[in-house]
Amino acid sequence: MKRRPATRIRRSPSVPRSERRTPGFLFDLDGTLVDSAYEHALTWRNAFRLAGVDAPTWKIHRQVGMSGGLLTRAVLAEIGADLSPEIIDRIKEIHTQEYERMVDEVRPLPGAKELLDHLTRLDVPWMIATSSRATSARRTLAKLGFTSLEVAVTRDDVERAKPDPDLFLAAARRLRVPVTGSMVVGDSVWDIVAARRAGAFGVGLLTGGTSREELEKAGALRVYADPADLLKHLYELGVRSEQPMVEA
């Protein structure tokens, strides 16, 4: 009985280490890295009330994450109100003033600082992209220990904020990484919609009060409880730990 020759298994050539890409991370700020989603909902509610509009807080909360102009118009459409552009601008101004009164109570979300520090140690590029204006963003970033806007793109840097993709496109350009394949981490449906429009992967967090189902329906690749939970599961998004791993 003749023995059949052994079949040689062809292995694909390994990808050179220099060509392997670690995804860039583009983070929303409010409700994603700092626990401020509900503060924004309340301060927008106060701004509407001071302008003579009684808007339910839950309707406002569902729009948090949009640009201020879109949020104002969306809420007014929800309650069937029509205001002049001047009053809408006044509502936005009042919101900024109201938030400045509450920002001292804002705290980083669990694991937020550790997550950013971990990515930095691994040389994983990251940037914060927020719909907030620079003045508000600066005070919020201070809660994470940042004293400048070097780590962030704000509403002042782009023509349109979320759900348009401009913020994340600008953040990717700032990092000099392709937005395609980058991970956009956010807590609202509007973050995920903007991520998809930018061509990036959307990663949801439950820290803004939006449900897992809503985030997944919007297109989130993965959904985690908070930044600490994301830190534990970075390997699911293609980020390896400091420990060397044997290539297959």
Active site residues: 28, 30
CA–CA separation, 170 and 174 (whole Å): 6
Question: What residue type is assigned to position 243 of the chain?
Answer: Q
What's the gap between Cα 206 and its chain centre?
A: 12
Let me know: does 33 contact 109? Beta carbons within 8 Å.
Answer: yes
What are the φ/ψ torsions at residue 7 (nearest 5 degrees)?
A: -80, 130
CA–CA separation, 134 and 29 (whole Å): 12
Instruction: For residue 87, give the 3-state DSSP assignment.
Output: helix
Let me know: does 89 contact 133? Beta carbons within 8 Å.
Answer: no
Could you tell me which of 156, 135, 138, 140 has the C-alpha nearest to residue 148? Answer: 138
Question: What residue type is assigned to position 146 of the chain?
Answer: F
The token duo for 199 is 């061509």
